[in-house]
Amino acid sequence: MQIRYCLSCNKELLGRTDKKFCDTQCRSTHHNKNRPFHEITIQKANSGLRRNRTLLAHFCPSGKSTVRKDVLVELDYRFELFTYLFPFKKGTYYFCYDYGFLPIEEKGIKKMLIVQKQDYMENLSFNPWGFKL
Ligand SMILES: [Zn+2]
């Protein structure tokens, strides 16, 4: 009988002859190690966006609310990640899927006006060459 070794940690494998890994931990370690770099990049951005969206939704239970920027900074909100921009005359909304915020300042305190995405925000013809932050 041939001795087989875990493809992840190289420990000797016992049991079924078609086994390639000790356990699910070793299996996922191996697959993560062999994932192409772009997949890791995409997954990091996606999980950051999802997390941002969850935070926005949490602080905006009824469609619209205002939260101090510091609160979201404390919770590691990633301001550089967003899925849509919605610029209008008073500023720019930064959306993560269906929730977004407008950066505002009240009495010197930086805040986020969080909103749920509205239908009219969908059909924007956005021109990156004519847009200034
Ligand atoms: Zn192993």
Q: Cα of 15 to ligand 1 centre, how many Å?
A: 13
65 — phi, psi (to 5°)? -165, 165
Contact between 69 and 113 under an 8 Å Cβ cutoff? The reply is no
Question: What span, in angstroms and rounded, lies between the C-alpha atoms of 69 and 101?
Answer: 10
Q: Cα of 34 to ligand 1 centre, how many Å?
A: 15
Q: Cα of 1 to ligand 1 centre, how many Å?
A: 20
**In a domain? residue 107:** yes
- For residue 13, pLDDT beyond 80: yes
Residue numbers of the domain that contains 72: 24-128
**In a domain? residue 69:** yes
- Provide the number of structural domains found in the chain: 1
**In a domain? residue 59:** yes
**In a domain? residue 11:** no
Q: Which comes out higher in pLDDT, residue 108 or 132? A: 108
Q: Cα of 102 to ligand 1 centre, how many Å?
A: 48
Q: What is the pLDDT of residues 84-118, one digit of tens each?
A: 999 888 899 999 999 999 999 999 999 999 999 99
Confidence of residue 62 (pLDDT cuts 50, 70, 90): very high
Q: Cα of 25 to ligand 1 centre, how many Å?
A: 8
**In a domain? residue 124:** yes
Q: Cα of 14 to ligand 1 centre, how many Å?
A: 11
Confidence of residue 40 (pLDDT cuts 50, 70, 90): confident
**In a domain? residue 50:** yes
**In a domain? residue 1:** no
Region for residue 68 given its phi and psi (left: phi exceeds 0; alpha: psi -120 to 50; beta: otherwise): beta
**In a domain? residue 40:** yes
Confidence of residue 1 (pLDDT cuts 50, 70, 90): low
* Model pTM score: 0.76
